[in-house]
Structure 1
Amino acid sequence: MRRPARKSSLSDAQTVDPNHSRSYAIFLLSRRDYSASELRKKMKGRGYVEDAIIPVVDDLLASNTINDQRYGSNVVAYRARRGQGPVRIRNELRRAGVAAEDVEAAVIGAAEGDSPDFVKRAREVRARKFGPEIPRDRKERAKQARFLQYRGFSNDHIRAALEGDLEDGEPDLS
Structure 2
Amino acid sequence: MAKLQISLKARALRYLSMREHSRMELERKLSRYAEEKDDIPALLDMLEAAKYLSAERFSDSLVNRRSARFGNNRIIAELQSHGLPGEEISRVKVELVESEAERAVDTLHRKYPVAPTEHVERAKQARFLQQRGFSSRAIQAAMRAPREDEED
- For the criterion TM > 0.5, the same-fold answer is yes
Distance apart, 1:104 and its partner CA: 2.4
Distance apart, 1:22 and its partner CA: 1.3
Counterpart check, 1:106 vs 2:92: yes
Distance apart, 1:50 and its partner CA: 7.9
Distance apart, 1:48 and its partner CA: 4.4
Counterpart check, 1:55 vs 2:37: no
Q: How many residues align?
A: 143
Name the structure, 1 or 2, with higher relative contact order (CA <8 Å, separation 6+): 2
- 1:6 corresponds to: none
Counterpart check, 1:158 vs 2:139: yes
- 1:26 corresponds to: 13
TM-score (norm 2): 0.82
Distance apart, 1:136 and its partner CA: 4.9
Query: How far apart in 2 are the matches of 1:49 and 1:79?
Result: 37
- What does 1:7-156 align with in structure 2 at a 5 Å threshold? 20-49=7-36, 51-81=38-68, 83-112=69-98, 117-133=99-115, 135-156=116-137
Map Cα deviations across residues 12-41 of structure 1 (whole Å, 9 max, x no partner). Answer: xx8xxxxx2212111111111101111101
Helix, strand or coil at the partner of 1:162 = helix
Q: Is the contact made by 2:72 and 2:96 (CA closer than 8 Å) also made in structure 1?
A: no
- 1:172 corresponds to: none
- 1:167 corresponds to: none
Distance apart, 1:49 and its partner CA: 4.5
Amino acid at match of 1:123: V
Q: Is the contact made by 1:119 and 1:161 (CA closer than 8 Å) also made in structure 2?
A: yes
> Displaced runs of 4+ in structure 1, greater than 4 A?
48-51
Q: Is the contact made by 2:8 and 2:33 (CA closer than 8 Å) also made in structure 1?
A: no
Query: How far apart in 2 are the matches of 1:155 and 1:99?
Result: 26
Amino acid at match of 1:162: M
TM-score (norm 1): 0.73
Percent identity, please. 33
